[in-house]
Structure 1
Amino acid sequence: MIVNRQIKILISTFIILSGLFIPVWGEESQESRKIEIRTIAILPYGIERENHLSGIYYDIANLLAKEAGYQVNNLVYPYARIMFELKSGKTDMTIMFKYEELEDYVVYIAPLPSLKTVVIGLKGSTFDSIENLKGKKLAYLRGAKFSDAIDGEPEIISVETKDFVQAIKLLMINRVDAIIGPMDPILSAAVQQGQSETFFGKPLVVSERTPWVQVSKKSLDRISVDKLRTLFEAFEKRGELEKIRKKYISSNKAESDK
């Protein structure tokens, strides 16, 4: 009888402990499926308006992560902060250009279509070569790296800006001679300021760079690189990436035509 009573006590204790630990394990499992994504704060790639987040890269990253089965927390941040968080592992995934200082900290998943970097000024202005830019002031996005040739030319003056909207404002009041960056975000910022493509002069193409989906190496124990690559290829074949791009680029052009 004593033995039976002891067995019953042990069984009861096991059941109680099981009830305590199962929810905890469940919570840990759910938490391990959550990933932190950061999207660059550049129109039309990462947009924050009235507490609503959107954008080309924002939507692509969300679609990719959710299809892979992850819970997503995606925030729109400046370049410099994202780079810092990728190194520390606080950010798991992002979409942006390759940077030499991140080579040891990230794994590259898949490339998006390449973007041409241009230098562009007001209507009537023309820059035929990088040589013509000597002595000129360029609005240059803080934390970004658009052209080695321009970065290495001491006679070209870079004026740091927090975003392309600020760059457009500086151009409008002649505080800078031109803006450097991909054409899509420059045009998006101009539209936001009530301008259109006719606001600009002839662009000078200075480089071509490729944005990549990239994952912090500190997150590889929780994120399947192979699964993300396979899903990304499937999205490309289905035309999902171009569909998302057109959603934002078309709306920008529609606004500029009003």
Structure 2
Amino acid sequence: MMHRRRVLTWLPLAAAACMGHAASAPQRRLKAVTIGVAPYGIRTPEGGASGLLVELTEALAARSGIPIDNVVVPYPRAMAMMQSGEADLLMSIANSRLVSIARPVALVFEGDVVAVGRAGSHFASLADLRGKVVAHIRGVEYNAAFEADQQIRKHETTSIEQSLKMLLERRVDAAIGSRESLLYALRAMGRPRAQLGTPMPIGHLYVRLYLSSRVTDDAVADALTSAMDALRDGGTVAALRKKYFAGLPAR
């Protein structure tokens, strides 16, 4: 009887402890939106999604314990979804629209922004782009000085691939983007590196995890921050970057 009494006494305490743990964990289901720029977000012909940030979002959900749905859409649509409340999460560089509707809760990774022309071209500074037509993805704000320079003729595109295609077809004079995404797109197009000139660095980019201002639960924000920090510092982000960017030329 004494043994039975101990068991009966312990069970309610254990149940209460489990209930307390569940109550403290964030329970809200979040919706993430991933920008459809390869290799970060790729929409498959079957209607699914793949890519570096798609895999990272899955890892974030598993690590944080927060259920996260994800959809891959073009960059302008991703911004609109964050603004309308259709999406709660986005991994992106900053832009003037995003900072007014969401807050950064964790750094994801860093990179470089470059401008590149065709083989034989050489740009030493942004001044060399004045009077030239430069392709860039619509809505992306890569560099404040580039955006502000009215003498640079900017041409909006829907993807890095379109920017490079127009460059190689001599419809624009240069393309701007992250160094890795430009070289990845060139490889995906089956074009040799020799068809492009030397990339000109024009800035540094920081991809961060943004949480919609509509999500006011501090427990959710804290769980996402802790999970992303662990994924970054623990090597998961680096491993995914290596998976998608392995074999790219150094320049």
What TM-score comes out, normalization by structure 1 length? 0.80
Question: Which residues of structure 2 form unaligned runs of 5+?
Answer: 1-26
Q: Residue 29 of structure 2: which of 34, 46, 54 is its match?
A: 34
Partner residue of 2:48? 52
Larger radius of gyration: 1
Partner residue of 1:9? none
Q: Check whether the contact 2:33–2:89 (CA below 8 A) recurs between aligned residues.
A: yes
Q: How does 1:6-21 map onto structure 2 within 5 Å?
A: none
Partner residue of 2:166? 170
Partner residue of 1:205? 201
Mapped to 2, the partners of 1:241 and 1:159 lie a distance apart of 32
How many residue pairs get aligned? The number is: 222
Partner residue of 2:212? 216
- The 1:175/1:138 distance shift into structure 2, 3 A limit, reads same
Q: Check whether the contact 2:131–2:151 (CA below 8 A) recurs between aligned residues.
A: yes
Q: How does 1:125-144 map onto structure 2 within 5 Å?
A: 125-144=121-140
Structure 1 residue 117 corresponds to structure 2 residue 113: yes
Q: Check whether the contact 1:86–1:216 (CA below 8 A) recurs between aligned residues.
A: yes
Q: Check whether the contact 1:165–1:189 (CA below 8 A) recurs between aligned residues.
A: yes
Residue type at the aligned position of 2:41: G
Residue type at the aligned position of 1:208: H
Q: How does 1:240-255 map onto structure 2 within 5 Å?
A: 240-250=236-246, 253=248
Q: Deviation at 1:222?
A: 9.0
Question: Which residues of structure 1 form unaligned runs of 5+?
Answer: 1-31
Q: Deviation at 1:125?
A: 0.8
Q: Deviation at 1:97?
A: 0.9
The superposition leaves residues 17-55 of structure 1 with CA deviations (integer Å, 9 ceiling, x where unpaired) of xxxxxxxxxxxxxxx642211111111111123233111
Q: 2:97 is paired with a residue of what secondary structure?
A: helix
Q: Deviation at 1:98?
A: 1.4
Q: Check whether the contact 1:36–1:72 (CA below 8 A) recurs between aligned residues.
A: yes
Q: Deviation at 1:196?
A: 3.3
The superposition leaves residues 158-198 of structure 1 with CA deviations (integer Å, 9 ceiling, x where unpaired) of 11100011111101110011100101111121112111322
Structure 1 residue 239 corresponds to structure 2 residue 235: yes
- The 1:52/1:199 distance shift into structure 2, 3 A limit, reads farther
Structure 1 residue 68 corresponds to structure 2 residue 80: no
C-alpha RMSD of the superposition: 1.8
Partner residue of 2:11? none
What TM-score comes out, normalization by structure 2 length? 0.83
- The 1:242/1:217 distance shift into structure 2, 3 A limit, reads same
Q: 2:123 is paired with a residue of what secondary structure?
A: coil
Partner residue of 2:18? none
Report the structure, 1 or 2, having the larger helix content.
1
- The 1:74/1:223 distance shift into structure 2, 3 A limit, reads farther
Mapped to 2, the partners of 1:39 and 1:170 lie a distance apart of 25
Partner residue of 1:82? 78
